[in-house]
Structures are given as structure tokens and as C-alpha cells.
Structure 1
Amino acid sequence: MRMVFRWYGEGNDTVTLEQIKQIPGVEGIVWALHDKPAGEVWALEEIQKVKEQIGKHQFHIEVVESVNIHESIKLGSPERDTYIENYKKTIENLGAVGVKVICYNFMPVFDWTRTDLFKELEDGSTALFYEKAKVEGMDPMELVEKISQHSSLSLPGWEPERLKHLKSLFEAYRDVTEEQLWQNLGYFLQEVVPVAEKNGIVMAIHPDDPPWSIFGLPRIITNKENVKRVLKLVDSPSNGLTLCSGSLGANPANHIPEIIREINREFPGRIHFTHIRNVRIYDNGDFIETSHRTQDGSIDMCDVVKALHEDGFTGYTRPDHGRHIWNETCRPGYGLYDRALGIMYLWGVWDSLERERRKA
């Protein structure tokens, strides 16, 4: 297991590289060019600048999250080929500086969806919260306004340039079915996976968050069966998965350790990256993100790590969304303190499994 940490760049993150350096076992930074609109080529000079900045702290930049996919590709619009060609050029430029993994998603319009960015937990900490009934009864523009008010920092998947076209995007997706979205994903992967292979990069799709339809938009990376389907679209090691325990785990029907074990049996080596976090699921469909500790949520975090360890997982792992603790002011879900605690919890489980293996 290779531990990495997501960072949004100087001037766009409350956490510094100096602070991340003090977290035991973190070897790399998960990064992106967050100011680049979806569809634009990432220039080699821009990428090189980030590599040099991060490299000064002895971190690698082998994982990118994410090179956002233009909506034309998801919609299957006539201009999609132009944006796919741009994506290929970006893959080539990333490969030239040593990037190994591109984490991406195929969610229409919205990335992750929450109704409260700072919901208070019993211990006084706050966390990202999803209220099912509120989403079902809310106009999407109302949610956009609510989310945008809560942070002066950019929120991935909620970029202003994307959201200002919200009404026209909803109109464009009105007649797009899940099956059409599958076809468009397959078209994209058939085009880019050979380029990724040639450049030593693996594509690692992130599940939909949450794993069900939002505002009537199609969602397809939602369960074990659909994860298998996407891995079959292009039979290549470069067509892989970012296993996110919190995204898939928000649906109690998705048993995360079982999914890991089954994917490892049927598609060995295709889980390239993992996001590990816990969520507490309520009977009414609401959920809130908790500490990484198994007892604090609904996901067996110990068994998640054990399932990875059983098959000798050597891919990249990062702690996912953390709580906001100790009066930290930070980007929602991406503070320093709770993610650092999460890393130490994950290392504790992993090290215990390693010790038992050596005894066997």
C-alpha cells in the first residue's frame, strides 16, 4: 500500500506541503491543475511546474485526480472527438513527467453531492452530510447556491465555469439514458486506453457519489455489477478502478470488502487507487461522513483494509474526506488533522496485518 495525500496547490489549500511531510508514510501528492476547465489540454510546462514544486518536498506526483471529462464526451455530442483528442494530449504530457494513475469520473453535471458541508456530529466536529429527502425535493440551482456560499476555495466538481451552464446541461441530459451513458463511456475508453497504455498510465474510474441518480441524471458506476461492466468495456490493465469505500458504501447494499475481493479475483491488478473513508448510514437514506474508525460508521474499515492486504495490494491509497476538528478552517472534507488521523488508523490496521503475515 502506497500512501498519498490530496493537495489542491498553493493559494488553493489551507494545508501546506510542509505539514503533509510530517504525516508518517506519505510518499506522494495527489494533484491536479484545478484552474483548467474540462476539455483543455494540460500543457507540459504547467505540469512540470507542479512537479518541481512538489518535488522540493521529496514527494512524487504519480497520481492525478482528476483530468475532468468534458460534458460533450459524456453526452456523445458531435464535438466530443475534439475533446477526446485534447484528453489524449494531456495523457501524453502527464506520462512524460512520470504520472502513473489518472483518477477520473463519468458523472453527468455534478461530481459529489451533499446538502450540508458542516453538519455537526455528537463530539462537536463537523462533516459532509447528505439528506436524501432534501435532495429529492430541492431544485438543483438551490443546491448550487447553498454549496457555493460555504467556501472561498474551489470545490472539485462544483467549478463555476461548469455550473453557470447548469440549465442548458440539464436540458441536454433530459433524454440521455443510462445505456446511452454506458455507450459514451465505452467510446471514450476505447479511444484513450491505448494512449494510456503507450504512456505507462492507468485510467482509474471513480464511482458515482452517491451511487444513485441525482435530480434525474443518469448514474452508472454505482455497484459491483456495474464496476465489473466498466472493466470489461476495454480489457486492459490500463482500464481500472479507483475503489472509493465512501462513495459506493453510501448504499448499504454495496458490501465494500466483498466488492474488493470479487474484483481482485475476476480482474486481478485492476484496482489501481483507493479512497478509504467511513460513512454512517441512517435508515431514511441520509448519511454523514465520520472518522475512519470502523466503530464510528457503517463500513467495516478493518475488513476493507484486510481485503486489500490479502491480495498484496501495492497500489496507491489516500484517506478520503475527513471531519473538521480542533477548530480547523479548511476546504470542506479536506482539512489536515482528521485526514492525518485517518492515515494513522489505516497504517495501524495494515501494520497489524503485516505482522500476522510474518508470523504465519
Structure 2
Amino acid sequence: MNITFRWYGQGNDTVRLEQVKQVPGVKGIVWALHQKPVGEVWEEKEIMTEVDYIKSFGFHAEVVESVNVHESIKLGNDERDYYIENYKETIQNLSKFGVKVICYNFMPVFDWTRTDLFHPLPDGSTALYFEKSKIDSIDPEELIHTVSSNTELTLPGWEPEKMGRIKELLAAYKDMTEEKLWENLAYFLKKILPIAESSGIKMAIHPDDPPWSIFGLPRIITGRDSLKRLLAISDSPANGITYCTGSLGAHRENDMAAMAAEFARHSPFAHIRNVKIFENGDFIETSHLTSDGSINIKGVVQKLSDNQYEGYVRPDHGRHIWGEKCRPGYGLYDRALGIMYLHGLWDAFQSEK
């Protein structure tokens, strides 16, 4: 298990790499060129600058999250081939600096979605919260205003240039169906996977978060059947999954421990975190501790241990604790606690072998 830590870059993250270096067992930093407009080629010089900085602290920079997919590719419109060529060039450029995994997603318009970024928990901490009835009834533009008023930091997938075009984008997806979105995903993968494979990079799709349709937009990477369908698109070793327990686990029907066993060899990258699901479909993110949420984190790590999982793992969204002012879900303290919990589980299961 190769423990990593997601970091948003100098000047774009409250966490510093010299702090991450003090968390035991962290081997690598999961990074991206977050200020780069979606669809543009990541140039070698700017990649080298970021990678060299990360390596200067003794970390590897082998996982990128994310190289975002341009909406034209998801829509399948006339501009998609241009952006696919840019994507292929970015893959090749990243491979020159030791990148082994690229995480990406295929969620239309919105990335991960929450209704409250700092919802109080009984212990006095706050966490990301999803209120299903609000999402079912709210106008997307109202949600954008709510999110932007809660933080000055850009959320992944909620870039200002995209949010300024929200009406245009929603109109473009008006007739989009799940099947059409699947067709567009398959077209994209069949174009990029040969390049990724020849470059020694694994593409790891991130599940939709939450794993169901929102705002009338289809979402297709939602559970076991969809992961099997994704893998059936191509048997290339470059076609993989980011196994995210928090995203998939927000749906009660997804057995995360069983799915960890089934998809471990297809998942070069894993996000492990916990959520507590309520009867009405709401959920809130909790500590990583198994008993604090609805996901069997202990069982997930046990299955990964049983499979001698050698992929990259990172703690995912954490609570905001001890008064930390940070990017929503991405503070230092609770993710550091999560890492130590994952280490403890892993060590215990490995010692039983």
C-alpha cells in the first residue's frame, strides 16, 4: 500500500509539504496543475517545476489528480477531437516525469457536489454534507452561489470559467442520456488508452459523487455494474479505476468491502474515507474510523491486504478539526489521523499472514 497525500500546490493550499513530511509513512504527493484551464496541454516545463518541488521534500509525484476532461469530450461535439489530442499530449508529457497514474472523471458539468461545506458534527468539528432534498429542488445557479459564498478557494470541477457558462452548459446537456454519455466515454478511452499504455501510465476513472443523477444530468460511474461496463470497454492495462469508498459508498447498495476485493487488481489508485448515510438519503463525511460512519473501512482495508494491494492510496476528505482553517475537506489534521488509522489496519492484517 503506497500511501499518498493530495496537495493543491503552492499558494493554492493551506497545507505545506514540510508539514506532510511529518506524517509517518507518506510516500508521495497527489498533485495537478490546478490553475491550468481545462483542455489545455500541460507543458513539460510547468510539469517539471511542480514535480521538482514535490521531490525536493523526498516525495514521489507518480499520481496526478486530475487531468480534467473537457466538456466537449463528454458532450461528444465537433470540438472533442481537438481536446482529445491535447489530452494525449498531456499524457505523454506527464510520462516523461515519472507519472504512473492519472485520475480523471466523466461527470457532466459538476464534479463532487455538497450542499454544506462546513456542517457541524456532534463532536464540534465540521464536515462536508449532502442534503438530498435540497439538491432535488435547488436551482444549480443557487447552489453555485452558496458554494462560492462559503469559501474563497476554488473547488475541483467548480472552476470559475466553467461556472460562468453554467446556463450554456446545462442547455448543451439537455438531451444527453446515460447511453450517449457511455458512448462518449468509450470514444474517449479508445483514443487515449493506446497512448497511455505506451507511455506506462494507467488511467483511473473516479466514480461519480454522489453516485446518482443530479440536476437532471446523467451520471454513469455509480456502482459494481458500471465499473464492470467500464472495464469491458477495453482490456488495456491502462484502463483502470480510482476506487473511492466515499463516492461509491454514499449509495447503500454498494458493498465497499466486497467491491474492494473484486476490483483491487483493476484499481491502481484508491481513495479511502467514510460517510454516514441517513435514512432520507442525506450523508455527511466523518472521520475515517469504521464505527463513525456507514462504510466498512476495516473490511475494505482487509480485502486490500488479502489481495496484497500495491497501488497508491490516499485518505480522502477529512473533517475540519482543532480550529483549522483550510480548503473544505482538505485540511491537514484529520487526513493525517486517517492515514494513521489506515496504517494501523494494514499493519494488523499484514501481521496475520
Shorter chain as denominator, the TM-score bin is over 0.9
Aligned to 1:251, the other structure's residue is in SS state: coil
Quick one: which of 329, 333, 337 aligns to 2:325? 329
Aligned to 1:136, the other structure's residue is in SS state: helix
Aligned to 1:349, the other structure's residue is in SS state: helix
Quick one: which of 314, 320, 327 aligns to 1:318? 314
Equivalent residue letter for 1:176: M
153-162 or 74-83, which deviates more: 153-162
Length, aligned pairs only: 353
The runs of 4+ residues in structure 1 deviating greater than 2 Å are none
Equivalent residue letter for 2:196: A
Partner of 2:113 in structure 1? 113
Partner of 1:349 in structure 2? 345
Quick one: which of 300, 306, 323 aligns to 1:304? 300
Where does 1:206-225 land on structure 2 (aligned, <5 Å)?
206-225=206-225
Aligned to 1:24, the other structure's residue is in SS state: coil
Partner of 2:335 in structure 1? 339
* Cα distance in 1 between the residues matched to 2:41 and 2:22: 34
Residue 180 of structure 1: how far off its partner (Å): 0.2
Residue 262 of structure 1: how far off its partner (Å): 2.2
Where does 1:1-360 land on structure 2 (aligned, <5 Å)?
1-264=1-264, 269-357=265-353
Residue 200 of structure 1: how far off its partner (Å): 0.6
CA deviation vs aligned residue, 1:150-177 (integer Å, no higher than 9, x gap): 1122211111011111001000000010
* Cα distance in 2 between the residues matched to 1:100 and 1:113: 28
CA deviation vs aligned residue, 1:13-48 (integer Å, no higher than 9, x gap): 000000000000001000000011111000000000
* Cα distance in 1 between the residues matched to 2:262 and 2:67: 28
* Cα distance in 2 between the residues matched to 1:271 and 1:12: 28
Residue 258 of structure 1: how far off its partner (Å): 1.0
Q: TM-score, normalised by structure 2?
A: 0.99
Aligned to 2:329, the other structure's residue is in SS state: coil
Residue 347 of structure 1: how far off its partner (Å): 0.3
CA deviation vs aligned residue, 1:78-103 (integer Å, no higher than 9, x gap): 11000000000000000000000000
Q: Percent identity?
A: 63
* Cα distance in 1 between the residues matched to 2:319 and 2:261: 28
Residue 63 of structure 1: how far off its partner (Å): 0.1
Equivalent residue letter for 1:139: D
Q: TM-score, normalised by structure 1?
A: 0.97
* Cα distance in 2 between the residues matched to 1:271 and 1:292: 20
